[in-house]
Chain A
């Protein structure tokens, strides 16, 4: 593995940065997901406050599955398992969360007359009550990280970086055919 990191024509700095980004993003989602998964009733109430889902089964499904789903996506990233698929899923979630949070914050702004960046509420993001502007920026940064992971193919420290493309089992790097694509 060490040899592969320093092999000619390889980009060790970019690879290490990708691994760190993976671990960082994975860690963040495991932390936020567990915070919600350990308090599912609180999360259920917060999901309900968005007034998006009426049916109790769907509401329960989201409140029970979403936190654990974040945890498992985080684990996939840390273990290096289906990294690009997990990253795509996290980008999708982050975009959806951001739209919902912004929509609710704008509604609150309209009612309260407060500036958007003074609006503060528990968005159900796993970090308690937060200033919404700050949360939107955080989500944007996490989405950038996740998008980077979805595009950048580096198999360093990965169990199986890509499920549907061949990898070298010795160092986790993508095969020559795949590597030629980027």
Chain B
């Protein structure tokens, strides 16, 4: 009995010391999370359903049939009051002269490694989980644009939605913001050009459909 108590006390001590050390490690880590920050702003639980979605799983990361996943994302965007845009519009805007003038802006909501590996040419990076690193550069560009297209990987990826909400809260007019639901996956599937490395690096690839 005494022995059990000693082990239980030891477990509690490990829990307490471990928690303190863990929080200290998180605070010291350059990649650490900020405890007070809401990384999923205004992300109300999505209650929609998708018809004929026998293989659909929302936000699970499980393999999804592309059509069902896109439909689920579109419905979720509607419920969250965000505008979505389809591939054909995105391509039109990409080829629009206004893109060169900075009146149409593309924003990539993925993290650094994904962005460097390949993004829509000229897209600005805005990883909203590390907003402090990007907002100062991206916000003025978005504020002066007429159309802001935000994308992430596509499918069940929600990062573009959270980035859109954050930009909207930062003052970018709601009517100017569009979430490209298909994301970079659809862009590449359509064989459209991809830029690797930094923005305007000039390293262009033609993605293969």
Contact = CB atoms under 8 A, between A and B. Distances in A.
B13 interface: yes
Residue with the greatest number of chain A CB neighbours at <10 A, chosen from B22, B34, B111: B22
Contacts of A59: 39
B25 interface: yes
Nearest to B21: A72
Interface stretch (B56-64, B89-97, B101-109, B191-199): B56-64
A120 to B, nearest CB: 7
A104 B14 CA distance: 29
Contact of B18 (A44, A63, A89, A113): A89
Interface residues of A, number: 51
A41 B37 CA distance: 12
Given A85-B14, A88-B11, A112-B54, A49 B26 contact: no
Residue with the greatest number of chain A CB neighbours at <10 A, chosen from B14, B23, B32: B14
Contacts of A92: 11
A89 B12 CA distance: 8
A162 B60 contact: no
A162 B6 contact: yes
Interface string A128-153: 01000000000000000000001000
A104 B60 contact: yes
B31 interface: yes
Contacts, number: 133
Given A60-B39, A162-B10, A41 B18 contact: no
B112 to A, nearest CB: 11
Interface string A83-96: 01110110010000
Contacts of B14: 73, 76, 82, 85-86, 88-89
Interface in B14-45: 14-15, 17-19, 21-23, 25-26, 29, 31-40, 45
B88 interface: no
Contact of B25 (A51, A68, A82, A88): A68
Interface of B: 3, 6-15, 17-19, 21-23, 25-26, 29, 31-40, 45, 54-57, 59-63, 111, 129-130
19 contacts: A37-B26, A46-B61, A48-B40, A49-B61, A59-B39, A60-B34, A60-B37, A60-B39, A65-B19, A68-B21, A69-B18, A69-B22, A73-B18, A82-B10, A113-B55, A119-B62, A120-B62, A164-B10, A178-B3
